[in-house]
Chain A
Amino acid sequence: MTMNTVKFEKLPDRLPPVNTVGWVAWVKQNLFGSVSNTIITLLFFYLIFLYIPPFLEWSVFNANISGSDRSICDENRSGACWTFIKVRMEQLLFGLYFAQNPDQMWRPIMAFIVFGGLLTPLAIDRTPYKKWLLLILLVAYPIFFISLVGGGVFGIPKSDASEWGGLLLTFTLAFVGIVLALPLGILLALGRRSKMPVVRSFSIIYIEFWRGTPLITILFMASVMLPLFFPSGVEFDKVVRAMIGITLFQSAYTAEAVRGGLQALDKGQTEASMALGMGYWQQTIFIILPQALRISIPSIVNTFIALFKDTSLVSIIGLLDLLKIAQNSSRSLDWNGYDIEAYMFAGLVFWIFCFGMSIYSQKLERKLDTDRNVE
């Protein structure tokens, strides 16, 4: 008997059919998957064809950027007038005081650079000593910022906050808002979850009061009524008044964000720390807050985005923030008629900051999600 030895040999893998991989499959699946899908795709192609080229032509290819007055833009009306933005850039970024004193411009620029230098490592995962960095940013940096930009110390010429403007003012208002609102918000969030009925109800009333009112009314109140609340000797700068209003407003939103973190925290943490014999403040400071704050960072960032956008409302009470300076410039004799460029520039600056922050908060949220799943 002879045995036929059958040799099994693995044949080389065959290539998948052309229409299930590569760009062909991708196009088929994502653009022309069904009849309705095809119709939608064609419609969008048509819309893109209709609007994108003229827009690019206006904003890029035909745009004016050279020169230093409106004559060059007036000759070529088919393109955007970026010359206007270029000429007014200093005002738009730093306000009238620094635009008038170009030799002092290094101060806000330096302040921004230091801010960027502190912030960038925070956004990177593997940075060591993040907590300390955050602490420096929230405590030491504001002092540095005020003494550098505000001046009046170390022989730096003084510039009152009322003379700041543009992006600098927008940034200052938003940053002050978040730095001062954070501790207040944490206390309120703890208060809202307190077992003491009086503390709890005061916190709830406070939070819901500020959350129920539009910021513009609060700013009105700050600018018209605050002087009535304090004795004649106590005077506040207009900017400071806006800051007070913004901080009170923002603390309510921060409180809600922190409360979300507190609620998400496992009850076992409290129980375990109680079992160890820790008091309320020991528990809160060493066990609860570090974990809860970490969870609530994405929502805090989201409230900060909202605040950053909302600072534009100070233009209604007469402060020269980025939006107001952009608008004033486009209404001035030198550049009137170029509104779209002014609004687009201001919008773009706001957008870059807000979009950047929202990307960061989404990233954090995803990271927190996976962290928790691993646990």
Chain B
Amino acid sequence: MKKISLLLGAFALIGFTYSSVATASTLEEVQARGELVCGVSGGVAGFSAPNDAGRMVGIDAAVCDAVAAAVLGDADAVKYVPLTAAERFTALSAGEVDVLSRNTTHTLTRDATLGVNFTYYNFIDGQGFMVAKADGLSSVMDLDGASICVQAGTTTELNMADYFRNKGLDYTPVGYSTSTATREGLEGGACDAITSDASQLAALRSETADPSAWTMLPEIISKEPLGPVVRQGDDQWMDIVTWTLHAMINAEELGIDSSNVDAMRADSPNPSVARIVGSEGETGPSLGLSQDWAYQVIKQVGNYGEVYEKHVEPLGIARAGSVNDLWTRGGIIYSPPLR
């Protein structure tokens, strides 16, 4: 009898510890760990893909670097976790990653039902179609009755369904589980067209045996604002990630980049600049960060324009005049004032 009651006690104890795991704030956790854990795709050129040296690079990976620079002062203190499209939100809400920066589209349903918060946008994308030049198609309207390769389970699939239904066109989807498989499907003739975000299509085209054989149709059928996502319920962390992005955009507006930030910090008459580089104001401490957080971001990672130029331009997606240009130059990349 004694043994049994002992056993019961043990179980009760386990149950007790089970339900009382203390939850620290994300910022404290990251600082205690000394490392930012960042969910990325790990396989999309220009967004996040390993380079020759095996380091994750791209515009999404740069967000991770920037947050690490802001929080820890070291852009290299990042552990990248490649996530599939299916597991990304669970991974974030379960606390496996601190930030999800994985070309994720902001939608109402995701925002409202998945227990996550969208911060801001680091790339404004839109869904397009790529077809063989030899087919001589000039518009999506010509695709009536075609087979179209698509990555299964993405919003891309939904946008296509909506668009074709709206226009009264018929089509057969061929769903693959990865974007590279859709490219193989197109090249192998399993479908007549391939649909994805325009940036991804550009990346996929560069991977084909003969990139000049493929062309994009003019229609962009969806809005795909992509940006980093954080867990619900930690407002401070949400602010940190949001304002890290804003700092990079503000820096570009003000002409601060990684090469001149030191000079600007030493002497700049402009109070906006002084606030960013941390020689004036209290922006860092009010977020719970150090005084020079934005300076570290710009010094180690660069401003928004630099990052774009380094990672996205090589895919053949021009920035000038596109939506991804600064609002001062006709784009829609805009950031609230950093003060």
Q: Quick check: do A and B touch in the complex, using CB within 8 A?
A: yes
A233 contacts partner chain B, Cβ-Cβ < 8 Å: yes
A228 contacts partner chain B, Cβ-Cβ < 8 Å: yes
Q: Bound state CA distance, A318 and B84, in angstroms?
A: 6
Q: Bound state CA distance, A100 and B84, in angstroms?
A: 23
In the complex, residue of chain B having the shortest beta-carbon distance to the beta carbon of A232: B95
Q: Bound state CA distance, A315 and B148, in angstroms?
A: 25
Residues of A with C-beta under 8 A to B23? 232-233
B43: min CB distance to chain A, Å: 8
In the complex, residue of chain B having the shortest beta-carbon distance to the beta carbon of A238: B81
- CB pair A100 B54 closer than 8 Å: yes
Q: Which 8 A-B pairs have the closest CB atoms?
A: A227-B94, A233-B21, A100-B54, A318-B84, A331-B180, A231-B21, A232-B95, A223-B87
- CB pair B94 A235 closer than 8 Å: yes
In the complex, residue of chain A having the shortest beta-carbon distance to the beta carbon of B181: A331
B16: min CB distance to chain A, Å: 12
B247 contacts partner chain A, Cβ-Cβ < 8 Å: no
A76 contacts partner chain B, Cβ-Cβ < 8 Å: no
A119 contacts partner chain B, Cβ-Cβ < 8 Å: no
- Using A96-B54, A235-B94 as known contacts, say yes or no to A336 and B21 having CB atoms under 8 A apart: no
- CB pair A227 B50 closer than 8 Å: no
- CB pair A333 B206 closer than 8 Å: yes
Interface string of B92-109 (1 = CB under 8 A from A): 011110000000000000
In the complex, residue of chain A having the shortest beta-carbon distance to the beta carbon of B49: A332
Q: Bound state CA distance, A231 and B209, in angstroms?
A: 48
| Residues from 50 to 101 in B contacting A, C-beta threshold 8 Å | 50, 53-54, 81-84, 86-87, 90-91, 93-96
Residues of A with C-beta under 8 A to B54? 96, 99-100
The one of B87, B95, B206 in contact with A224, judged by C-beta atoms closer than 8 angstroms, is: B87
Q: Bound state CA distance, A331 and B183, in angstroms?
A: 10
A222: min CB distance to chain B, Å: 10
Residues of B with C-beta under 8 A to A275? none
B19 contacts partner chain A, Cβ-Cβ < 8 Å: yes
In the complex, residue of chain B having the shortest beta-carbon distance to the beta carbon of A227: B94
Q: Bound state CA distance, A301 and B43, in angstroms?
A: 37
- CB pair B209 A232 closer than 8 Å: no
Residues of B with C-beta under 8 A to A225? 90
B233: min CB distance to chain A, Å: 11
In the complex, residue of chain A having the shortest beta-carbon distance to the beta carbon of B95: A232
Interface string of A346-368 (1 = CB under 8 A from B): 00000000000000000000000
A78 contacts partner chain B, Cβ-Cβ < 8 Å: no
| Residues from 178 to 208 in B contacting A, C-beta threshold 8 Å | 180, 183-184, 206-207
Apart from A232-B23, A233-B95, what are 20 other A-B pairs with CB-CB below 8 Å? Answer: A99-B54, A100-B53, A162-B81, A224-B86, A224-B87, A224-B90, A228-B90, A228-B94, A231-B19, A232-B21, A232-B95, A233-B23, A235-B95, A238-B81, A316-B177, A317-B87, A318-B87, A328-B180, A331-B207, A333-B207
- CB pair A337 B209 closer than 8 Å: yes
Residues of A with C-beta under 8 A to B183? 331
A313: min CB distance to chain B, Å: 12
Q: Bound state CA distance, A228 and B114, in angstroms?
A: 13
Residues of A with C-beta under 8 A to B95? 232-233, 235
A234 contacts partner chain B, Cβ-Cβ < 8 Å: yes
Task: Give the number of chain B interface residues (Cβ < 8 Å).
Answer: 28
- CB pair A318 B94 closer than 8 Å: no
In the complex, residue of chain B having the shortest beta-carbon distance to the beta carbon of A97: B54
B45: min CB distance to chain A, Å: 8
Residues of B with C-beta under 8 A to A336? 207, 209
- CB pair B90 A318 closer than 8 Å: no
B61: min CB distance to chain A, Å: 15
In the complex, residue of chain A having the shortest beta-carbon distance to the beta carbon of B178: A331
- CB pair A232 B94 closer than 8 Å: yes
Interface string of B3-46 (1 = CB under 8 A from A): 00000000000000011011100000000000000000001000
22 A–B contacts, CB within 8 A, in A order = A100-B54, A220-B86, A223-B86, A223-B87, A224-B87, A224-B90, A225-B90, A227-B90, A227-B93, A228-B90, A231-B18, A232-B21, A232-B23, A233-B21, A235-B94, A235-B95, A317-B87, A318-B82, A318-B83, A331-B180, A331-B184, A336-B209
Q: Bound state CA distance, A331 and B179, in angstroms?
A: 11
Q: Bound state CA distance, A328 and B183, in angstroms?
A: 13
A50: min CB distance to chain B, Å: 26
Q: Bound state CA distance, A219 and B162, in angstroms?
A: 32
In the complex, residue of chain A having the shortest beta-carbon distance to the beta carbon of B21: A233
- CB pair B91 A227 closer than 8 Å: yes
In the complex, residue of chain A having the shortest beta-carbon distance to the beta carbon of B84: A318
Residues of B with C-beta under 8 A to A238? 81
- CB pair B21 A235 closer than 8 Å: no
**Residue of A231, A232, A318 with most chain B CB atoms under a 10 A cut-off:** A318
In the complex, residue of chain A having the shortest beta-carbon distance to the beta carbon of B82: A318
A343: min CB distance to chain B, Å: 13
B42: min CB distance to chain A, Å: 8
Q: Bound state CA distance, A125 and B22, in angstroms?
A: 56
Residues of B with C-beta under 8 A to A223? 86-87, 90
| Residues from 313 to 332 in A contacting B, C-beta threshold 8 Å | 316-318, 328, 331-332
Residues of A with C-beta under 8 A to B82? 318
- Using A162-B81, A336-B209 as known contacts, say yes or no to A96 and B50 having CB atoms under 8 A apart: yes
Q: Bound state CA distance, A313 and B16, in angstroms?
A: 37
Residues of B with C-beta under 8 A to A337? 209
Q: Bound state CA distance, A238 and B95, in angstroms?
A: 13
Q: Bound state CA distance, A333 and B184, in angstroms?
A: 12
- Using A96-B54, A333-B206, A336-B209 as known contacts, say yes or no to A227 and B21 having CB atoms under 8 A apart: no
Residues of A with C-beta under 8 A to B180? 328, 331
Residues of B with C-beta under 8 A to A318? 82-84, 87
The one of A227, A317, A331, A332 in contact with B96, judged by C-beta atoms closer than 8 angstroms, is: A227
Q: Bound state CA distance, A99 and B207, in angstroms?
A: 23
Residues of B with C-beta under 8 A to A99? 54
B55: min CB distance to chain A, Å: 9
Q: Bound state CA distance, A336 and B204, in angstroms?
A: 12
In the complex, residue of chain A having the shortest beta-carbon distance to the beta carbon of B231: A232
In the complex, residue of chain A having the shortest beta-carbon distance to the beta carbon of B41: A318
Residues of B with C-beta under 8 A to A328? 43, 180
In the complex, residue of chain A having the shortest beta-carbon distance to the beta carbon of B22: A233
A220: min CB distance to chain B, Å: 8
